């Protein structure tokens, strides 16, 4: 049996391209996940602790602003001893706009350790169990510090009720680092709307629309708020006909460059109507020269 959540849009969800930014999709799924967990016998988990260890989002269609809420269908597709996976589908009216898989773990913040599901929690989760097909596996590469380095500072408002940087905010950091890395490849073809690379705000003659179609994040350690930066390394690891797959790694330079999270992103080159188009030859050559394998 599936669970249906409704999530309100906000005007601030929109980005410079006029539709909901990819980070807003992660917010919508988080709100639906919270509603599902907080409704049944698993509600206490939100208080004692429940962390996301992997977050996958597949984007299918843009979301425009409207006062009508979005709808999220939530099912449980995996239940283990101390973790569970939610499969979610996001709808704008009748239009399927995104899919997500969240792997979650009940957590005891007093002992700073994962814990096993209780009998009641397991029964509640299993009551919504549905077998679903996994999302397509993305290629991955260990960067070991290679790629473009980008320093980022978590904001105080990035903290969630557990006192650490919320999982959704990683989408922000990864996006900022990816845009910075892409702009170093070509400030004309890969610059985003509104960036300083656009000069006086005019569309560059070589303008390409870049669409994020997939974002996967694996969380390895919790980030805390601090006044010194963390580092994101970002590099292309695969170049397709119209797509680029990027690997990103969150690094803590104050902890021996320990790996805090890893991510894979797939962006597609599109025309101004949003239709995929073949990567220009010169851009492909530059990207291939920077591939990390």
The yes-or-no verdict on residue 201 having pLDDT over 70 is: no
The yes-or-no verdict on residue 238 having pLDDT over 60 is: yes
- The kind and range of the H/E element at 115 are none
User: From the centroid of its chain, how far is CA 264?
Assistant: 9
178 and 230, same domain (yes or no) = yes
197 and 84, same domain (yes or no) = no
43 and 157, same domain (yes or no) = no
127 and 209, same domain (yes or no) = no
Any idea what DSSP says for residue 10? -
Residue 262, token pair as written in the block: 């890893």
Instruction: Please tell me the distance from the alpha carbon of residue 19 to that of residue 198, in angstroms, as a whole number.
Output: 20
- The kind and range of the H/E element at 105 are strand 95-108
At which of 114, 135, 156 does a domain end? 135
Per 3-state DSSP, the chain is made up of helix, strand and coil in percentages (nearest 5) of 25, 35, 40
Predicted pLDDT at 249 = 98
35 and 113, same domain (yes or no) = yes
At which of 135, 168, 191 does a domain end? 135
Contact 229, 153 (CB under 8 A): yes
Contact 105, 63 (CB under 8 A): no
Q: How many helices (H) and strands (E) does the chain have?
A: 5, 11
Contact 33, 185 (CB under 8 A): no
* Tally of domains within the chain: 2
144 and 127, same domain (yes or no) = no
The yes-or-no verdict on residue 188 having pLDDT over 70 is: no
126 and 144, same domain (yes or no) = no
Tens-place pLDDT, residues 32-52:
999 999 999 999 999 999 999
The yes-or-no verdict on residue 293 having pLDDT over 80 is: yes
At which of 88, 104, 135 does a domain end? 135
142 and 121, same domain (yes or no) = no
- The closest of 263, 264, 266, 269 to 284, measured between CA atoms, is 269
**φ/ψ of residue 265, rounded to 5:** -130, 140
Contacts of 196 (CB under 8 A, 6+ apart): none
Tens-place pLDDT, residues 274-290:
889 999 999 999 999 99
Tens-place pLDDT, residues 116-161:
999 999 999 999 999 999 999 999 999 998 999 999 999 999 999 9
CATH value at residue 36: 3.10.129.10
Percent of the residues in the chain that have a pLDDT greater than 70, as a whole number:
93
Domain ranges, residue 176: 136-293
61 and 115, same domain (yes or no) = yes
80 and 130, same domain (yes or no) = yes
216 and 126, same domain (yes or no) = no
129 and 225, same domain (yes or no) = no
Contacts of 162 (CB under 8 A, 6+ apart): 49, 51, 109
Instruction: Please tell me the distance from the alpha carbon of residue 121 to that of residue 44, in angstroms, as a whole number.
Output: 9
């Amino acid at each position: 049996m599936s669970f249906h959540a409704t999530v309100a849009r906000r005007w601030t969800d929109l980005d410079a391209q006029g539709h909901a930014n990819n980070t807003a999709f992660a917010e919508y799924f988080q709100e639906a996940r919270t509603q599902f967990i907080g409704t049944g016998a698993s509600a206490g988990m939100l208080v004692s602790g429940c962390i996301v260890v992997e977050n996958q989002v597949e984007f299918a269609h843009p979301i425009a602003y409207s006062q009508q809420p979005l709808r999220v269908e939530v099912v449980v597709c995996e239940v283990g001893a101390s973790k569970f996976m939610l499969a979610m589908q996001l709808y704008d009216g009748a239009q399927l706009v995104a899919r997500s898989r969240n792997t979650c773990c009940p957590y005891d913040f007093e002992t700073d350790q994962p814990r096993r599901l209780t009998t009641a929690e397991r029964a509640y989760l299993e009551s919504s169990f549905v077998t679903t097909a996994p999302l397509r596996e993305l290629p991955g590469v260990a960067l070991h510090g290679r790629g473009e380095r980008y320093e980022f500072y978590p904001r105080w408002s990035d903290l969630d009720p557990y006192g650490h940087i919320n999982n959704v905010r990683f989408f922000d950091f990864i996006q900022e680092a990816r845009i910075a890395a892409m702009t170093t490849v070509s400030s004309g073809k890969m610059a985003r709307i509104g960036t300083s690379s656009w000069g006086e705000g005019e569309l560059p003659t070589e303008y390409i629309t870049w669409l994020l179609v997939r974002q996967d994040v694996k969380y390895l350690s919790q980030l805390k708020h601090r006044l010194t930066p963390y580092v994101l390394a970002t590099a292309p690891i695969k170049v397709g006909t119209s797509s680029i797959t990027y690997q990103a790694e969150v690094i803590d330079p104050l902890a021996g460059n320990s790996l805090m999270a890893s991510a894979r992103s797939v962006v597609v080159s599109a025309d101004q109507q949003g239709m995929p188009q073949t990567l220009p030859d010169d851009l492909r050559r530059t990207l291939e020269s920077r591939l990390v394998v």
